[in-house]
Amino acid sequence: MRQINRHADYDQIAHTYDHRYERNSYAGVEQALRGFVGSQPGLQILEVGCGTGHWMEFLQAYRVHITGLDFSTGMLSQAHRRLPGIPLVQGTAERLPWPTGLFDRVFCVNALHHFPDKAVFLAETRRVLRPAGRILTVGLDPHSRLDQWYVYDYFKESLEIDKARYPAASSLRTWMRGAGFQDCITQEVEHWTYRLPAHEILRQGRLDKTATSQLSVLTDAEYQRGMEWIRADIERAEAKGETLFLTANLRLYGTSGSIAERPA
């Protein structure tokens, strides 16, 4: 059986990627990043999987020195336009091209699930962090069984794919401790809940194949099958004089850890 490539091509979707920040509020992620950075100016901060530079731009107001890394040259091109003068590097999360002990903070938002070897990434993060450094990752946990999402409902392959891509929060904490981090905790940082008519979901582009990686990693046949199912349900509802509503109840979790300060 031919193996399906489940990797999203971010070079192809870089020009539309930031639409997600127009469709959803990320106030909880912003608050988590503010707490993660703190009030100490001059920190050296690395974002791994920086994408178009949205979160680096957000942190510029906090008088820190920001560096970004991403695998996609298309996403980095968008980031260069947004943040001229900010150091941006093309590379992989498992081989960070910086010397040991350079950064005070390393974070990634909705990126960890794309890294092929997450444990190696965490070990690399531990290496490039200074004493008292900290790590923060933000993402879904489809293993929690708490979430409801029309994408999972209609695109049946997507939930199992996400379970393979996203580690459970408990596993992530175990890997962090194994890499040498302490005080590893997971907290809910964002909770999206909405129920909208299916026509509005479509109008907003929330079901475009480039709207989210859960759709981007599907084959064209898998994607079309889900879209046909939605359209059929819309038609059945309309035939009864009703409106089909789609529901999302999704959480983003922040998992963090720290490095002990150097002994006096």
Q: Is residue 7 scored above 80 in pLDDT?
A: no
Q: Can you give the residue ranges of every domain in the chain?
A: 10-258
Q: Which of 15-19, 50-54, 69-73 has the lowest mean pLDDT?
A: 15-19
DSSP the chain: -PPP-----HHHHTTTTTHHHHHS--HHHHHHHHHHH-S-TT-EEEEET-TTSHHHHHHGGG--EEEEEES-HHHHHHHHHHSTTS-EEE--TTS--S-TT-EEEEEEES-GGG-S-HHHHHHHHHHHEEEEEEEEEEE--GGGS--EEHHHHHSTHHHHHHHHHSPPHHHHHHHHHHHT-EEEEEEEEEEEEEEEEHHHHHHTTTTSTTS-HHHHTS-HHHHHHHHHHHHHHHHHHHHTT---EEEEEEEEEEEEEE-PPPP-
In this predicted model, what pLDDT tens digit does every residue of 118-170 receive, in sequence order?
A: 999 999 999 999 999 999 999 999 999 999 999 999 999 999 999 999 999 99
pLDDT in tens, 179-213: 999 999 999 999 999 999 999 999 999 999 999 99
**Mean pLDDT over all residues of the chain?**
94
Q: How far is CA 135 from CA 10, 86, 125, in A?
A: 24, 21, 8
| Predicted pLDDT at 87 | 97
Confidence grade of residue 4 (pLDDT, cut at 50, 70, 90): low
Residues 77-85 have a mean pLDDT of: 95
pLDDT attached to residue 5:
61
Q: What is the mean pLDDT of residues 237-244?
A: 97
For residue 2, what pLDDT is reported?
Answer: 44
pLDDT at 1: 34
pLDDT for position 9:
85
CATH class of 10-258: alpha beta
pLDDT at 230 > cutoff 70: yes
pLDDT tens across 13-50, in order?
A: 899 999 999 999 999 999 999 999 998 889 999 999 99
Length of the chain: 264
pLDDT recorded at residue 52? 97
pLDDT of amino acid 8: 80
| Per-residue confidence (pLDDT) for residue 48, from 0 to 100 | 98
Please choose, from the candidates 213, 217, 237, 194, the residue with its C-alpha nearest in 3D space to the C-alpha of residue 25: 194
Q: What is the pLDDT of residue 264?
A: 42
